[in-house]
């Protein structure tokens, strides 16, 4: 069980609507390497981790990823708020508007809806932790691309925060991998 505090993990300041940037951010809202995919992946993989410490780590990081998903959704919502339909059409979001109006919906930047097929859980903790480290690197790279695409200083600031969290998660997963490998190779005497 979690205690929910009614504020974002990091503040989101948007200076003006930007349909183009909202569309790009959808990659991190509903794409294969999105915050949603990461959160679901880690919260699923936690069950097959061999130590309580690694179970707890995946639970904590998975929960934080959902907080990041909330941040991305907030950015998209603020960037689209009040934007006329004509501007949505010009940014190739006419089909999004047709089905969702200005609502935030888990799809990637091309409008492909999120699917559980993006989530991997093999049951092998070593394999899964390698997958998690790769996922964090892919997300970091995506954030670097998004920072380069943004012109809004508030969006850039939030994206930098998110990028740095990916680096920390990568490091924690590396530590967990070492711990799991030690646990799996340790002789057990009964």
Predicted confidence at residue 21, as pLDDT, reads 97
Reported in sequence order, the residue ranges of the chain that DSSP labels E, i.e. its strands, are none
Please report the pLDDT score of residue 1 as a whole number.
Answer: 55
Domains and CATH numbers, the chain: 19-102+121-185 (1.20.1260.10)
Ordered mean pLDDT values, 10 residues apiece, the chain (190 residues): 82 95 97 97 97 97 97 98 94 93 95 96 97 98 98 98 98 98 83
pTM for this one? 0.94
Q: What is the pLDDT of residue 3?
A: 76
CA 175/CA 106 separation, integer angstroms? 31
Token pair of 113, please?
């809806």
């Amino acid at each position: 069980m979690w205690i929910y505090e009614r504020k974002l993990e990091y503040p989101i300041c948007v200076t003006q609507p930007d349909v183009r940037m909202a569309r790009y951010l959808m990659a991190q809202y509903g794409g294969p390497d999105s915050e949603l995919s990461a959160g679901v992946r880690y919260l699923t993989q936690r069950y097959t981790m061999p130590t309580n410490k690694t179970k707890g780590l995946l639970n904590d990081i998975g929960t934080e990823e959902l907080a990041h998903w909330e941040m991305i959704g907030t950015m998209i919502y603020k960037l689209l708020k009040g934007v006329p339909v004509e501007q949505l059409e010009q940014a190739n979001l006419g089909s999004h508007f047709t089905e969702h109006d200005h609502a935030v919906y888990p799809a990637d930047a091309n409008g492909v809806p999120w699917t559980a097929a993006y989530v991997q859980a093999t049951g092998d903790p070593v394999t899964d932790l390698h997958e998690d480290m790769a996922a964090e690197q892919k997300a970091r790279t995506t954030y670097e691309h998004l920072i380069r695409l943004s012109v809004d200083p508030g969006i850039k600031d939030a994206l930098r925060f998110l990028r740095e969290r990916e680096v920390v998660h990568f490091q924690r997963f590396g530590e967990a991998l070492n711990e799991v490998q030690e646990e799996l190779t340790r002789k057990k005497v009964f």
